[in-house]
Amino acid sequence: MLYIVVVAVVLAVNLLPAFGPPTWSLLVLFKLNWHLNPVALVVLAAMAAGTGRYLLARASYLLRGRLSERRRDNLAAANRYLTGHRAGTILGLGLFALSPLPSAQLFEAAGVLALPLRPLTIAFFAGRLVSYSLYIGAASLAQRSYGQIITSALTSPTGIALQCAMLIGIGIAGAVALVDRLWHRETDRMRISSLASSAPAGYRFPREVIAVAVRWYLRYGLSYRDVEELLAERGVEVDHVTVYRWVQAFTQEFIDAARPSRHAVGDRWFVDETYVKVAGRWTYLYRAIDQHGQVIDVLASERRDGAAARAFFTRAMRCGPAPVEVTTDRAPVYPRVLDEFAPDARHVLEQYANNVVEADQGRLKARLRPMRGVKTIRSLRSVAAGHAFVQNLRRGHYELTIDIPAQDRVRAAFDGLAHCL
């Protein structure tokens, strides 16, 4: 009967999300007053504690539905980061679970992030076996004459102060490591301003000049000759054909360099295609944006058929998890493609529901107008992808420029990414 009481109390304490008493103090109290078997007490208490923390994590997972869409997107991005760095994550969580530190917030975070709970619970159980054995052993020694010394040392003000100092030291070390990492990230962003200008391999002009030319062309409604003239006014003599080659060669490099800092895409997609003339022939441009206005992906295709739609969704699915809702026009190919790539997603076909992406396509058409026609599909792909990248930068969908005013985001991003060329 006494063991049942121990299991019930330990289970209840470990179900508390915060402000619960330390389990080891309850076990020491049980041992000193009831004279229970130390081995049975340690094993049952560790099992009850692990069960309680596991149930707490499962309850925290159920709270995800009450969070906003933006917070769920951030949690999904954190989940992808942790699962992508599996070795470091397992090592860090395992060391934390093996330590006697409070673990309620750890399991709550693991539940909200939808992390695998079984390895974490096993590590927690093993750690509690060790820590509970130490505390119960100290309590057993307290029943002997020389155990009074150990008990007084652990429970004296000096001993408690030393334990608190250790915990505070661990917290300070973690805070210093976090601040150091953030500091290095900021200095990496500004490092390009202090580095000497150098040209990429095979090019004559410095990286900063190339970055400015590509940024002007993608951001503003300029032709290649307009960019050539603006550079000439600033003392840089470059031919407009060279500017064209820079745009074709380096647009994708800028996009790839900024990809790690891109925000997670939303779970509601708006998909549509528009028409663009390439060398006098109509070409189709597939585009998708989410509910936050982030351009998910673009794809230029010579045909508007099932193969093109599948190719587009194949690319778009690499940007994040499958959507829960997709809004398209009434093209007959979309239901079949969605059944293949997102079978659980709700397909919206209502009139005017796709106005969001259609209005966004107007900005792309306005950017293409000064070009007086696109000559190759390769050029269309570069300009469309670069325009989407600039739009996402301006709207704050990259962590690289999240704290910078909107009017300075594109300039700051291209200046910071120039060293990646």
Q: What is the CATH number of the domain that holds 310?
A: 3.30.420.10
pLDDT value of position 191 = 46
Instruction: Look at residue 97 and tell me if it is in a domain.
Output: yes
Q: State the pLDDT at residue 195.
A: 40
pLDDT above 50: residue 196: no
pLDDT above 90: percentage of residues in the chain: 33
The three-point CA angle 181-187-193 to 5° equals 165
Both tokens assigned to 303: 């045909």
* Tens-place pLDDT, residues 11-69: 888 888 777 777 767 777 776 666 677 788 788 888 888 888 888 888 888 877 777 77
Among residues 155, 177, 209, which one ends one of the domains?
155
Identify whether 75 is part of a domain. Answer: yes
Please tell me what DSSP assigns to residue 374.
B
**What is the average pLDDT across 175-186?**
71
Residue 280 lies in a domain: yes
Single out the residue in 94, 120, 155 at which a domain terminates: 155
* Domain annotation covers residue 204: no
| Predicted TM-score of the model (pTM) | 0.54
**Percent of the chain with pLDDT strictly greater than 70:** 82
Rg (CA), the chain: 30
Higher pLDDT, residue 151 or 389 = 389
Rounded CA separation 340/272 (Å)? 18
For residue 304, is it within any domain?
A: yes
Q: Which domain holds residue 63?
A: 2-155
417 in a structural domain: no
Q: Are residues 16 and 146 in the same domain?
A: yes
In this prediction, residue 374 carries a pLDDT of: 84
Interval 215-229 mean pLDDT: 92
Q: Is-contact 6 45, C-beta < 8 A?
A: yes
Query: What tens digit of pLDDT does each residue of 223-238 get?
Result: 999 999 999 999 999 9
Cβ atoms of 308 and 301 closer than 8 Å: yes
CB 384 within 8 A of CB 298: yes
**pLDDT(336) > 90:** yes
Q: Stretch 284-295: mean pLDDT, rounded?
A: 93
Q: Which residue has the higher pLDDT, 345 or 157?
A: 345
Show which of 109, 133, 155 is a domain's final residue: 155
Fill in the amino acid letter for 80: R
> In total, how many domains does the chain have?
2
When pLDDT is averaged across residues 287-312 and rounded to a whole number, the result is 93
- Dihedral class, residue 280 (left if φ above 0, else alpha if ψ from -120 to 50, else beta): left
Residues 151, 274 within the same domain: no
Indicate if the pLDDT at residue 153 is higher than 60.
no
Higher-confidence residue: 237 or 193? 237
Q: Give the up-direction half-sphere exposure of residue 324: CA atoms within 13 A in the CB hemisphere.
A: 6
> Residue 243 falls within a domain, yes or no?
no
Q: Side by side, which strands form the sheet with 281-290? A: 295-301, 281-290, 268-278, 325-327, 346-348
In a domain, 95, yes or no: yes
